[in-house]
């Protein structure tokens, strides 16, 4: 299985998912932490953060044996005492035949002078035990060797004397407070050589933001093709309705005869045969009638043709009215 997979399960880098993933995850976590705390002060759109992390990718196992010399405890104590005595006879007489006889030794033991010596020895052995601490520490991969954090802040602006926006840099005290927040957020450690840089500069504004900041008087309304077509349709219908009212309905209403009294029933009966005997007009002489929603009643097709002729004969006036309605509708 080891040869097939191509990976060593005992390799800490393989088990951790790779060096690049570990470094990227650490840098992303620190960057989001800085953006969260500083972004609440200056705004996330006015903040850019870059983090570079130097990680320790070695797995280290340490064993330490610590002995405290001030904490001694008597473990065992042994005392040995030795006393010895010795007596040597005096050898002051000369060597003669008489001294060589056996009786001479008895005489010497009884009355001759002798030398006596005594020896005493005391030996004491004490065994002490001192406090000892054994520590086993395993340092996994991923420890931070060094951090470098760069923070760029957008320089704020304020209205100037002429009303235009000018740069308004932050004070040194405010910049120091922001830098202190960044140091606290990343766990700054000067002993390992961490670096934090917080600078302020004017960000480049996108084109959309520049267009939005332009004066309102220079802005022109933007119309889509759909809006223009809809306005032209509404204007055309309104123009036709106005032409119908001005050139058709008003002349018809002005030339209509006064209403006559209703005929009697006998007169109606006498006139009935005559009406039935009248020849029917030709079909081409009757104008078709069109029901228009803009006016009440029915208008002849010839009247609609007359409106079209009026529009054609007054092209400039019709175009001016149509453009004005389109502007009002938009």
| DSSP notation for 71-133 | EEEEEEEEEEEEEEEEEEE---S---TTTTSHHHHHHHHHHS-EEEEEEEEEEEEEEEEEEEE
Question: pLDDT band at 5, cuts 50/70/90?
Answer: very low
Domain boundaries of the chain, sorted by first residue: 12-55+142-212, 222-252+287-330
How many other β-carbons are positioned within 10 Å of the β-carbon of residue 317?
Answer: 12
Note the pLDDT tens digit of each residue in 214-245.
Answer: 554 454 555 566 677 777 778 777 777 777 77
Tell me what pLDDT residue 147 has: 95
User: Using CA atoms in the order 311, 316, 322, 326, what is the torsion angle rounded to 10 degrees?
Assistant: 160
Q: What is the CATH number of domain 12-55+142-212?
A: 3.30.70
**Better-predicted residue by pLDDT, 122 or 249:** 122
Tell me what pLDDT residue 192 has: 92
Query: In sequence order, what are the residues at sequence separation of 6 or more whose Cβ sits closer than 8 angstroms to the Cβ of residue 101?
Result: none
Cα 32 to Cα 329: distance, rounded to the nearest angstrom: 49
Residue in the structure block whose two tokens are 């130097």: 54
Tell me what pLDDT residue 177 has: 95
Query: In sequence order, what are the residues at sequence separation of 6 or more whose Cβ sits closer than 8 angstroms to the Cβ of residue 72?
Result: 128, 129, 130
| H or E stretch covering 67 | strand 60-89
Tell me what pLDDT residue 330 has: 60
Tell me what pLDDT residue 175 has: 94
Question: Per the structure block, which two tokens stand in for 172?
Answer: 């040194």
DSSP 188: -
- Max avg pLDDT among 7-11, 74-78, 97-101, 167-171: 167-171
Tell me what pLDDT residue 328 has: 67
The pairing of strands 298-300 and 114-139 is unpaired
């Amino acid at each position: 299985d080891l040869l097939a997979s191509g990976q060593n399960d005992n390799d800490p880098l393989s088990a951790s998912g790779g060096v690049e993933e570990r470094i990227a995850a650490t840098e992303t976590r620190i960057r989001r932490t800085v953006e969260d705390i500083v972004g609440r002060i200056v705004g996330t759109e006015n903040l850019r953060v870059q983090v570079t992390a130097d990680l320790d990718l070695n797995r280290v196992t340490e064993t330490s044996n610590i002995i405290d010399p001030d904490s001694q405890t008597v473990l065992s104590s042994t005392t040995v005492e030795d006393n010895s005595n010795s007596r040597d006879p005096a050898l002051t007489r000369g060597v003669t035949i008489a001294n060589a006889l056996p009786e001479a030794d008895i005489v010497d033991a009884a009355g001759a002078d002798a030398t006596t010596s005594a020896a005493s020895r005391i030996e004491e052995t004490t065994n002490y035990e001192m406090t000892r601490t054994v520590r086993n520490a395993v340092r996994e991969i991923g420890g931070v060797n060094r951090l470098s954090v760069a923070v760029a802040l957008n320089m704020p602006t304020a209205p100037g004397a002429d009303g235009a926006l000018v740069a308004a840099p932050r004070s040194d005290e405010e910049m120091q407070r922001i830098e202190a927040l960044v140091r606290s957020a990343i766990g700054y450690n000067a002993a390992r050589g961490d670096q934090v840089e917080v600078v302020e500069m004017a960000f480049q504004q996108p084109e959309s933001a520049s267009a939005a900041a332009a004066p309102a008087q220079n802005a022109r309304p933007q119309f889509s093709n759909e809006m223009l077509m809809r306005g032209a349709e509404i204007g055309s219908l309104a123009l036709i309705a106005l032409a119908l009212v001005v050139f058709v309905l008003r002349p018809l209403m002005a030339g209509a005869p006064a209403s006559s009294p209703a005929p009697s029933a006998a007169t109606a009966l006498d006139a009935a045969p005559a009406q039935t005997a009248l020849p029917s007009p030709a079909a081409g002489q009757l104008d078709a009638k069109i029901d228009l929603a803009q006016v009440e009643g029915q208008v002849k097709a010839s009247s609609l043709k007359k409106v079209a002729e009026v529009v054609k004969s007054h092209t400039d006036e019709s175009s001016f009215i149509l453009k004005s309605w389109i502007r009002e509708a938009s």
